[in-house]
Amino acid sequence: MVAVFRADPAYAAALLSSVEADGDPDELAIVRRQLQLASMITEGLQQGAEAEKAKL
């Protein structure tokens, strides 16, 4: 799911809205965890790219 969320942020936002509206707390916790992982991976990739640019 992390890869899907990173590839399609609009889908991630729509899914989160849908799960929030449904009110299933367990499913909401899972979606939020996956979104957090996707965010952390994206931030890590950005930091790595910035570090590589700084070396040049």
Alpha-carbon torsion (13, 18, 21, 23), positive or negative: negative
What's the confidence (pLDDT) of residue 21?
94
Rounded to whole angstroms, the Cα distance separating 35 from 30 reads 9
pTM of the entire predicted model:
0.69
Q: DSSP letter at 24?
A: -
What's the confidence (pLDDT) of residue 18?
92
Q: How confident is the model at residue 5 (pLDDT cuts 50, 70, 90)?
A: confident
> What is the chain's alpha carbon radius of gyration, rounded to the nearest angstrom?
14
